[in-house]
Chain A
Amino acid sequence: MFKNYLKIAWRNLRKNKGYSIINIGGLALGMAVALIIGFWMYDELTRDSYFKNKDKIAQVYQSQAFNGRIDTGPAIPLPLEPALRDGYADNFKHIMMASWTQDSYIKYKENSISRPGNYMQPVAPELLNLEILKGEKDGLREINSIMISKSTADALFGKEDPIGKILKISNQYDLNVTAVYQDIPFNNTFNSTDYIIPWDNYVANREWIKNSLDHWDNNSFQMFVQLAENADMESVSETIRNVKKDLNEDTAEFNPQLFLLPMEDWYLRNNFEDGKQVGGRIKYVWLFGIIGAFVLLLACINFMNLSTARSEKRAKEVGVRKSIGSQKGQLIYQFLSESFLVVLFAFVVAIAIVLLSLDGFNELASKEITFPWGIGMFWLISVGFIIFTALLAGSYPALYLSSFKPVDVLKGTFKTGKYASLPRKILVVIQFTVSVAFIIGTVIVMQQINYAKNRPIGYDRNGLIQIPTWSADFQGKTDIMREQFIKSGAVTAMATSSSPTTRVWSNRSGFTWEGKPDGFQEDFAWTEVSPEYASTLNLKVVQGRDFSRDMASDSLGILINRTAVKYMGLENPVGTVIRDSDKENLTPSMKILGVVEDIISQSPYEPVKQAWYVYDRNNNFSYYNLRLNPGQSAKQNLAIVERVFKENFPAIPFEYDFVDDEYAAKFAAEQRIGTLSGIFTALAILISCLGLFGLTSFVAEQRTKEIGVRKVLGATIFNVWNMLSKDFLKLITISCFIAIPIAYYVMNGWLQEYPYRVILKWWIFALAVFGAMGVTVLTVSFQAIKAAKANPVKSLRTE
């Protein structure tokens, strides 16, 4: 029997090729979208699955209140380590201090490369369950040892055995390679950790860290833990909550709250508001999940609509089968198996589409998703997915078709119009509601991105490059380099800075100034710069003056931004003296020389933070900032800059970034979401239009005779077109009325997350409406005009 059903289904598909292509093609597109989104979600949700003890690993986080605003982050102070090891050891299997991941030059003989890595305590290989390929697992015992990833080993040593060889880090320290580990795969935290150096080495070689060992107020380090076997994440988190507050009176005013962020939340739920966890990326995972489900739903609606529209053709078959003895159940079964066949076909086509587009998608979404050929679970889920889709798409037509009464059908007076058209109309309305809402959403996302992109950033980022200077070689050469760069003609100005222009790496507090309100808990973005900083960036000094090399006293000067003036409550900022609150004799007091324009160095969606630009007295710089000569091409300039660089630092690879690229990277996440939702919207519209196209062709076919009669009676092509299009346009109008409030509500909520946001304008909605109408008219007209132009004599003769 099943074979008989499939045979009929197959012959029907072949007989109505246009219908089949629309149906299978639309469904395949929908399924491909659902599959790709499914892969993407799976990839997001299974991040960090490389780590065997994922559910036992956590990072220590801290919330502190500054002037009523609660900041939460992973930076913790050094004395916390002995505090936890002494008083709370039972709760943890491992405690591991770690530095932030940072790029360093690694040199072996004449071969020098720049790689990111961390300083970590010796338990790292165990905690991260590194797979040791060569050397010893316990390779971080000796202070001068280093473990490197396989890719780093290959790049440095080629075929040579790295174990026991000596590497030079930042051209400063010699380290002995003790192990090579398998690179931690993409889609895992520490994926970019290409070397690990003992934590003790980090401390021993840096005065400021040694000085911080008993300072609870220097929150500059990371701590990872693995819980003891029987310990519970939440209760341990609760146990350590007040450790810092209880042990240190000085910082108690900031109400420091410690807690554990479990590894499974690192990537997906790491946003905090007012000290509370408020999700994060997980929101986008679900958002795309919903988009995928909707696109699939649209495709299923096509299937339902086209099947029921064709019901007149199938009605006779239903009548005959019933009169021969088929029961309703058997007919439902038959139509469901037809739907199953179509879905199966569509699934095969969908897999082909996925295979063809996966590379492009990976690029867009910056993923490394591969097709899970060998994974049984995937196929199992796929079978479920096929059955689910077949039921979703086939159930309505099956129930509808199987409920025909044979008497009605066989009498020949049967007309489906009345019965079928209402559900069909509702489904079309749903389709276009989703499409219109998608259009509005996408336009708003794009607008918000553009709005933030066009926000004035306070300096000129074009033709500005930054060169990292993380090696001891750069010390003492700044003035020579500036001279040589400028003399070469490729560069018009150069300044150093302790952090990149597009970022804030350091925040400071503990200062006082005249007029500072009592109990004011200050917090400033802190960048140390050479005197040419403002002029190199074209950063406008709006009050007072810039640094000057001619004034020796400027070495104790600072520039502050506009926001800082307001933040500090200064009437006349220039000349204000700033003192260190507690160690007055240690840090000399500084004087405000001038006020500069606010520059966006953090999120382009947030208000600019109060910032200090401090004269760099201690050669504490990490970047050269170069203003390229606008009179020459960037390519020419860069070639010259590289040459000058190489002449002075032959052992160091020449690396640079364009500041505008770095700035653009801030939009990457939103841009990706914008691009992806744009693509999915286009597909949703395409699928909806396919359905509409199919529907119109059926309606036109059904009304061929009527159209013929009307034409004989004098109807023009326009009359006929109008007659056929009007119904659909009415439906689209209803869709718009439903979609607009929904889209407004959802997108307004989304925008609330961005303090710097675009104002929703009515024309966005008008655009979406006209877009949807336009597409509908085009789609419908194609069929309508074809029907209207047909020779009436022909269509009438067939009756």
Chain B
Amino acid sequence: MHYETNKKIHMLLQLNNIFKWVQSGGQRVFLLKDINLSVEEGEFISIMGPSGSGKSTLLNVIGMLDGFNEGEYNFMDEPVHTLKEKHRANLYKQYIGFVFQAYHLIDELTVKENLEMPLLYNKTSSSERKALVADSLDRFNIVGKKDLFPSQLSGGQQQLVGIARALITSPKLILADEPTGNLNSKQGEEIMELFKQLNNDGVTIIQVTHSEKNAAYGSRIINLLDGRRI
């Protein structure tokens, strides 16, 4: 009994019998089939599988950017499948940070302004915003770049900013879809080291990767094939 309670506190999210499909020519094409997954706080999970196997789809479902057709999804004891969009947005803006393969920084904003943006949506006060942005610039060693626009940075630097932006609201969970896909191997290694370090600090990480080497940084590997866990 005591053990059960303890475990529940550490449970971050839980997917039960998740199905996702699209209608195509009168037929259901399944993107995700009967996915069950429990993630505890502090885990570092790698999702692997061949191209088209549904890795990104799964990540987007976890990140609440995408919906699903059947099944249950609980995030921090909140039943995501029943929440209104507004509530859902509040949830992920508070607890989830995204890192994308293509960085997805906003081109019209400087490094500093990109970092500041999640805080604006978070309604963080102005003074606190300044402090957090300064901290973050410091921590990722990009103070000198703070007034540059994304187009003026290298790929690795852009991804660094992307990660810094994902982390600035101190999320519990980082979702990264092939974060090193556009980087050379040295830059990739640096990013992975960074993830390792973040994980050590207690951040839960789920990453999609094609590389065994990167997957090895994680504590657990989930394999997908045709939308199904194997």
Q: Do A and B come from one complex?
A: yes
Neighbouring A residues of B214 by C-beta, 8 Å:
none
Instruction: Please give, as numbers and ranges, the residues of chain A lying within 8 Å of B90 by CB-CB distance.
Output: 325
* Contact residue among A4, A320, A327, A330 (Cβ-Cβ distance under 8 Å from B113): A4
A4-B113, A4-B120 are known; give 4 further A-B pairs, CB within 8 A.
Answer: A8-B106, A321-B106, A327-B86, A407-B60
**Nearest CB in chain B to that of A14: its residue:** B108
A4 to B169, CA, bound (A): 18
Q: Taking CB as reference atom, which chain A residue is nearest B165? A: A324
If A327-B89, A407-B60 touch, does A320 touch B105 (CB 8 Å cutoff)?
yes
6 contacts between A and B (CB under 8 A): A316-B106, A317-B108, A322-B65, A323-B104, A325-B90, A325-B122
From B56, B66, B117, A324 is in contact (CB under 8 Å) with: B117
- Does A509 lie at the interface of the complex (its beta carbon under 8 Å from any beta carbon of B)? no
Within 8 A of B (CB), among A1-54: 1, 4, 7-8, 11-12, 15
Q: Complex formed: what's the CA distance from A8 to B106 in Å?
A: 9
Contact assessment for B92 and A325 in the assembled complex, using a CB-CB cutoff below 8 Å: yes
Closest B-chain residue to A317, C-beta based?
Answer: B106
Of listed A7, A405, A407, residue having the most chain B CB within 10 A? A407
Task: Report the minimal beta-carbon distance from A401 to chain B, rounded to whole angstroms.
Answer: 14
CA of A12 to CA of B107 in the docked complex: distance in angstroms?
Answer: 10
Measured CB to CB, the closest approach of chain B to A631, in angstroms, equals: 77
Contact between chains at A330 and B121 (CB < 8 Å): yes
Q: What does the 1/0 interface line of B30-72 toward A look like (CB < 8 Å)?
A: 0000000000000000000000000010001001011000000
Alpha-carbon distance between A15 and B106 when the two chains are bound, in angstroms:
14
| Cβ-based interface call for A374 (8 A) | no
Kindly list the 6 A-B residue pairs having the minimum CB-CB distance in the complex, ordered from nearest.
A325-B93, A325-B121, A11-B108, A407-B66, A320-B104, A324-B118
Q: Are B165 and A412 in contact (CB under 8 A)?
A: no
Q: In whole Å, how far is A325's beta carbon from the nearest beta carbon of chain B? A: 2
In the complex the two chains form, is A407's CB within 8 Å of B108's CB? no
B128 cross-chain contacts in A, Cβ below 8 A? none
Residues of A within 8 A of B93 (CB): 324-325
B117 — nearest CB in chain A belongs to which residue?
Answer: A324
Any B CB within 8 A of the CB of A705: no
Contact A325 B108 (CB under 8 A): no
- How near does chain A come to B165, taking the closest CB pair, in angstroms? 7
For A319, give the chain B residue with the smallest CB separation: B104
A141 on the B face (CB < 8 A)? no
> Are B85 and A328 closer than 8 Å at their CB atoms?
yes
A-B contact count (CB 8 A): 69
With A4-B113, A407-B66, A410-B100 known as contacts, the answer to whether A325 contacts B106 (CB < 8 A) is: no
A320 and B85 contact, CB distance less than 8 A: no
Tell whether A411 is near chain B: CB-to-CB under 8 Å: yes
CA of A358 to CA of B49 in the docked complex: distance in angstroms?
70
B143 lies within 8 A of chain A by Cβ:
no
User: Among A8, A320, A406, A411, which residue has the most Cβ atoms of chain B within 10 A?
Assistant: A320
Interface size class of A (residues with CB under 8 A): 20 to 34
The distance in angstroms between the C-alpha atoms of A412 and B177, with both chains bound, is 13
CB distance from A404 to the nearest CB of B (A): 11
Residues of B within 8 A of A406 (CB): 65
Contact call B108/A8, Cβ cutoff below 8 A = yes
Interface residues of B in 111-138 (CB under 8 A from A): 113, 116-118, 120-122
Contact bitstring A650-664, B, C-beta under 8 A = 1, else 0: 000000000000000
Instruction: Tell whether, in the assembled complex, residue A324 and residue B100 are in contact, meaning their CB atoms are under 8 Å apart.
Output: no
Q: Chain B residues near A319: list those with CB within 8 A.
A: 104
Q: Does A67 contact B (CB under 8 A)?
A: no
Beyond A7-B113, A323-B65, whether A316 also contacts B104 by CB under 8 A is yes
**B15 part of interface (Cβ distance < 8 Å):** no
The distance from the CB of B63 to the nearest CB of chain A, in whole angstroms, is: 7
- B142 interface residue per 8 A CB criterion: no
B121 touches A324 (CB 8 A): yes
Whole-angstrom distance between the Cβ of A100 and the nearest chain B Cβ: 69
- Residues of A contacting B92 with CB < 8 Å? 325
Residue contact B121 to A15, C-beta cutoff 8 Å: no
A 294-327 binary contact with B (CB < 8 Å = 1; else 0): 0000000000000000000000110111111111
Candidates B56, B116, B121; contact of A326 at CB < 8 Å: B121
In the complex, whether B11 has a CB less than 8 A from a CB of chain A is no
Q: Complex formed: what's the CA distance from A319 to B121 in Å?
A: 14
Mark B86-105 against chain A: 1 for CB-CB distance below 8 A, else 0. 10011011100010101011
Q: Which B residue sits closest to A316, measured CB to CB?
A: B104
Set of chain B residues within 8 Å of A325, measured between Cβ atoms: 89-90, 92-94, 118, 121-122, 169
Question: Which chain A residue has the least Cβ–Cβ distance from B97?
Answer: A324
User: Closest CB-CB distance, A775 to chain B, in whole Å?
Assistant: 34
User: Complex formed: what's the CA distance from A405 to B60 in Å?
Assistant: 11
User: At the interface, yes or no: B221 with Cβ under 8 Å from chain A?
Assistant: no
1/0 per residue A380-413: CB within 8 Å of B?
0000000000000000000000000111001110
Q: Residue B56 contacts which of A4, A7, A411 (CB distance < 8 angstroms)?
A: A411
Check B109 for interface membership: any CB of A closer than 8 A: yes
Per the bound structure, the CA–CA distance linking A411 and B52 in Å amounts to 13
